[in-house]
Structure 1
Amino acid sequence: MTKGAKMSDEEKLLLFKEKIDSAAAVVIGSGSGLSTAAGYTYSGERLQKYFGDFAFKYGIRDMYSGGFYPYQTMEEFWGFWCRYIWINRYAPIPTDLYERLFDLVKDKDYFVLTTNVDHCFQRSGFDKHRLFYTQGDYGLFQSSDPQGKSLEKTYDNYDQIKEMVLSEGFEIGLDGELIIPEGRKIKMTIPSELVPYCPDDGELMTTNLRCDDSFVEDDGWHSASRHYHNFLRNHEKMNVLYLELGVGMNTPVIIKFPFWKYTKENPNAFYACINKGEAGCPDEIKDRSVCIDGDIWEVLSAKVNS
């Protein structure tokens, strides 16, 4: 592996600008680093603001680990998860990073492949028919034991999640912001009658997030998958920019390794990677790559403002 050609940061940025401007098509692959750069931090101030009670009671240090804590009741499980889903799916996106990214590609022939589940792309203007969320969506429920009618079915959860967070004592602003009223003690549990059950099989609901083989790939998932692979086939010999943003090595087989492969196989393709601390590419494609070790917001902002 190489860190890319020996260029200065300024030269890398200029090359990135040139390639995104000249590309006939852009395939964006995004991982958790993109949402982190957009302000979706799972510890620190956001954790204390929305989950200070859970952090104090259970020693939870970040939202992610809090999602796996073995809560003793479904009322407390959903007391945690309703907040988690609301602030990371329905509340305003912390920064305009996704909008800046959209400005770069909105006039291009583009497609997005993402492992993120916060739906930021569609909420920032991206065409939903050009998006493939491979790992699920915070905005969807599924049966905890999919079978029969629920086997390939997901369920929108906006109304239920909203009712849950309101039942804990939160208020919701006009823009969707989750508000803690001054002087009000927030409950850590929801009422038993709000615990969600699947209307098709009677099982407890859970989040539609890929964590084991019970993950439901519904009709929307399969349609998005077809659109993505058709896009790749239709552009396999064209001047394509494979733009990887914030993808680490936790699940490289979904985005990183395929992007390297597609770039290697297509002599007209170019690979760009922006990732703080993890920007690199194989030697085989280093002459058709630019790897920028830096903050995604700063890099895209520089391009938008140029």
Structure 2
Amino acid sequence: MTEEHYEKEIGRLRTALEEADAVVIGAGAGLSTSAGFTYAGERFRAHFSDFAAKYDFSDMYSGGFYPYETLEEYWAYWSRYIYINRYMDAPKPVYEKLLELVRDKDYFVLTTNVDHCFQKAGFDKKRLFYTQGDYGLFQCSEPCCQETYDNEELVCEMVQQQKDMRVPTELVPHCPYCGKPMTMNLRADNTFVQDEGWHQAAERYSNFLRTRDGLKTLYLELGVGYNTPGIIKYSFWQMTLKNHQNTYACLNYGQAECPNEIRSQAICINSDIGEVLERI
């Protein structure tokens, strides 16, 4: 993309945002990556050098899937993982800049991210739908019930008290109902718990789409890849196609694209999301 074309597309996005009656934001992992939440490299080494040395991990995802022999070691890893990706702030103010752009708009956020960055940046909780869970919640691993549990206090204790890559046995979390081990409330298989808060958020998102149907809407897709494209990407394409007034904007470093059917309604910018938002 030439600098001239880049500036033209940013100008189109600025106009689309100004003129939109409603804005639906769809956010994937690329948005948090732009904000500095990287899962490999220096940030990984700074927090997991001991696990990397023992197991030859090169990134946080690999460590998350490793079958640790004990729950004490499992939670030593995961408590650190949760703490730095959920309770520490993102290094760059990308989410704050996004809020600045849409604060006065009629917006809703649909995200597959589980790091809570939207809420920490000040987005209205009632305008957020985290479809894939939240690092800040535990659930029963069975699960024996459709309940989730805030984990901040326990995670912080596990981080502070772990030694030699193990947490004290008494800190290993178990379900208060059946006694089975707890796990993170993350969608990985059919054991994912969709609690009352999840269903309420899903209903609010559905209501937002229904009550804004026919309005001039900007579907702003940020950092969404092809791991779960049906949740955000494909639905945004379909909703854009329904109304010629709608605009689909895709900001993605390396994967900014759209189908031919909506090309005339699309703005695709292949660049760092944070940089683009600063220039709007």
**Alignment partners' CA distance in 1, 2:104 and 2:177:** 42
- TM-score, with length taken from structure 2: 0.98
Residue aligning to 2:268:
291
Residue aligning to 1:174:
none
Which of 138, 152, 161 in structure 2 is aligned with 1:158? 152
Q: Do residues 122 (structure 1) and 119 (structure 2) align?
A: yes
Residue aligning to 2:179:
202
1:100 counterpart letter in structure 2: K
What value does the CA root-mean-square deviation take over the aligned residues? 1.0
Matches within 5 A, 1:1-306: 8-147=5-144, 151-168=145-162, 187-303=164-280
1:220 counterpart letter in structure 2: G
- TM-score, with length taken from structure 1: 0.89
**Alignment partners' CA distance in 2, 1:101 and 1:290:** 17
Per-residue Cα deviation, 1:102-137 (whole angstroms, up to 9, x for no partner): 000000000000000000000001000000000000
**Alignment partners' CA distance in 2, 1:8 and 1:96:** 26
**Alignment partners' CA distance in 2, 1:115 and 1:65:** 19
Task: Compute the displacement of 1:236 (Å).
Answer: 1.4
Task: Compute the displacement of 1:187 (Å).
Answer: 2.8
% identity of equivalent residues: 56
Per-residue Cα deviation, 1:259-302 (whole angstroms, up to 9, x for no partner): 00000012221100000110011111111110001000100011
1:96 counterpart letter in structure 2: P
Task: Compute the displacement of 1:167 (Å).
Answer: 0.2
2:166 counterpart letter in structure 1: T
Task: Compute the displacement of 1:257 (Å).
Answer: 0.1
Structure with the higher helix share, 1 or 2: 2
Per-residue Cα deviation, 1:225-281 (whole angstroms, up to 9, x for no partner): 000011001111001000000000111000000000000012221100000110011
Total equivalences in the alignment:
278
Runs (4 or more) in structure 1 with deviation over 4 Å come to none
